[in-house]
Structure 1
Amino acid sequence: MTVAGKPLSAQAGPVQTNRPATPNRGRLALRDLANGMNQHWLWRAMAMQDIVLRYRGSVLGPLWLTFSTAIMIAAMGFVYSQIFHLDPERYVPFLTLGLLVWQFISSVITDGCSAFMSVQHAIQQVRLPYTVHVLRSVFRNLLILGHNAVLIPIVFLMMGHGIGWEALMVIPGLVLLCINGFWISILLGMLSARFRDVPPIVAALLQVIFFVTPVFWTVETLGKYRHVGDFNPLFAAIDVVRAPLLGEPFAPYSWQIVGTMTVGGLLVTAVFFSRFRSRIAYWV
């Protein structure tokens, strides 16, 4: 068909298509985070189910976590208070809080390594935000910390240790620990999915770090080398929770270290998650 001696196709301009613009990687990562946070009912239910399934058929159930921790505190409290020549009434509360917070931190790190690999079938078969699996891991360990926290008032009453209003500072400390656990789990989860040697390396490092971090020994023990302990990031993470409950001042740089670690870790993880998020399903 022609119009004015020219084919109709020649007179028509280029075909216009209204295809939506493809979101960039950063927006996809933010969308993943927003969708994961919105589905809080899902990862909370999955976290609670993880604990129930772990102790299915057990008489005490999750209380076994608290029972085993209580035995460790009793044994270590007696032995190390004698080794360090410390008053048990002051040392046992210090040890209790240090072990509880360390268990939370170390569990978040080790579980973070398997945050994606442990749910590879769900990732490959169900379309869910990747952050759902990470939030599930962090919340599961927060629940375990809550179970073990019942030991704190028991130990404090037995040792005659009181709790003041400064204990409220434990709330922002725990919030920062959870935020750090979130970005650590994403970063280690991606690295572990890509490089399967990462989980055993992390587990081995945590065993060493436990003994060189002031968990069951005080930072004052280092004497003139105290700064080595003060600048230990894991000690800072423990200190922002332990110090207010003990009614003691924070170590000089604890909040600065934890704050820097939180901001820096989130920025680094945001870059890695935006860049490699689309490859997680292939890595697992």
Structure 2
Amino acid sequence: MIAALNGAFDDISKAMRLHRVWIALAHEDIGDQHRRTTLGPLWMLVNYFAFVGTFAFVFVTKDAGNPSYIAYVAIGMLVWFYLTETITMSVSLFQREASFIQGTTLPLFVYVMRLTMQCIIRAGYSLAGCVLILLLGGYGINTNWLVSMLGLLLIVLATPAFVMVFAFLGAFFPDSEFIVGNLMRVGMFFTPVFWVYSGQEGVQKYAYRWNPFTYFLEGVREPITAGIFPIQALAVTGYVCLGLWALALLLLGLYRKRIVFLI
């Protein structure tokens, strides 16, 4: 166990010294995805506005009359899109990077950080759109935004762990790419992204209280929309982050040298 953890930390340390490599690769990925398009990466901002508008004005719920509902949906979509993209893209990470993994001696964590940085860059466009919606909705910048940023920071810190866990899952079980993708699509409706929990019983109660993604969303959203310090949400997010990192380090330490035989 100790040897595995030492190996994981050594791999991470080497990868962090190569930060210019994975940052450059991530920027190249974003550029390649939008090459020859008119708007370029701004399409990510357009997509974000389109989804927020759809769920706020088309799929109208009984909560739509609340003045804070658009902000509720905007922040919910920001966090959910980030988590969904991170998780679904992670499952096939090692398969996509197979040629590099088999042909170079780069630390495995370089590929983890390449995807992490790519997801952060993409989320930056959605974040800009979310901030614009909040400002237009009358949510002036105040100390509550700092608490919300703390929730975002915890999610960002958990991202490399998410990537590693699901990347190894995809390497061991190739079918998991489709299973995870479908679960995340369905999971959006079991997570309070656009619906508001107001003490309802039944499925909504359990979907709200026992869904870990609820706390990722509320840790970012509650400080701004409700003006409260989300102690429970931040605590649960922190515990999930620690648990993910413990599992990720163990997987990295045990299987980083064997992954080449699994892809």
TM-score (norm 2): 0.92
Tell me what 2:167 maps to.
189
Match of 1:242 in 2: 221
Higher relative contact order (CA 8 A, sep 6+): 2
**1:34 maps to 2:13:** yes
Letter in 2 for 1:248: G
Q: 1:78 to 1:204 in 2, by over 3 A?
A: same
Deviations 1:97-135 (A, max 9, x none): 100110001101011112211110000111101011011
- Structure 1: gaps of 5 or more residues: 1-22
What is the CA distance between 1:190 and its match in structure 2?
1.3
Partner residue of 1:170?
Answer: 148
Name 1:17's counterpart in structure 2: none
| Distance of aligned partners of 1:36 and 1:222 in 2 relative to their CA distance in 1, 3 Å threshold | farther
Unaligned runs of 5+ in 2: none
Deviation at 1:267, TM superposition (A): 1.4
User: Which of 46, 62, 65 is the aligned partner of 1:87?
Assistant: 65
Deviations 1:130-184 (A, max 9, x none): 0110111111111111111121232123323333212112333222212222112
Residue number among 245, 256, 260 corresponding to 1:266 in the alignment = 245
Equivalenced residue count is: 261
Q: Of residues 77, 90, 93 in structure 2, which corresponds to 1:112?
A: 90
Task: Note if contact 1:78-1:88 (Cα within 8 Å) is conserved in structure 2.
Answer: no
Aligned to 1:256, which of 218, 229, 235?
235
Note the alpha carbon deviations across 1:228-266, whole angstroms, 9 max, x for none.
413321010111112223353255621221111111221
Alpha carbons 2:223, 2:230 under 8 Å: kept: no
Q: How does 1:187-226 map to 2 (within 5 A)?
A: 187-220=165-198, 222=200, 226=205
Change (3 A) 1:212 1:57: same
2:7 matches 1:43? no
Identity %: 26
Instruction: Please say if residues 63 and 196 of structure 2, whose CA atoms lie closer than 8 Å, have aligned partners that are also in contact.
Output: no
Q: Matches of 1:246 and 1:110 in 2, distance apart?
A: 28
In the TM superposition, what are the counterparts of 1:67-106 in structure 2 within 5 Å? Answer: 67-80=46-59, 82-87=60-65, 89-106=67-84
**Could you tell me whether the CA contact under 8 Å between 2:61 and 2:195 is conserved in 1?**
no
Q: Give the conservation status (yes or no) of the 8 Å contact 1:163–1:245.
A: no
Q: Distance in 2 between matches of 1:157 and 1:174?
A: 18
Per-residue CA deviation, residues 27-83 of structure 1 (Å, 9 max, x unaligned), is: 222110111112111111111110000000011000011112112212221134x43
Contact in 1 for aligned 2:139/2:224 (Cα 8 Å): no
Indicate whether 1:230 and 2:209 are aligned: yes
Residue 60 of structure 1: aligned partner = 39
Higher gyration radius (CA): 1
Shift of 1:221: 5.7
User: What is the identity, as a one-letter code, of the residue corresponding to 1:219?
Assistant: Y
Letter in 2 for 1:89: P
> More deviation in 120-129 or 170-179?
170-179
| 1:13 alignment partner in structure 2 | none
Give the conservation status (yes or no) of the 8 Å contact 1:214–1:235: yes
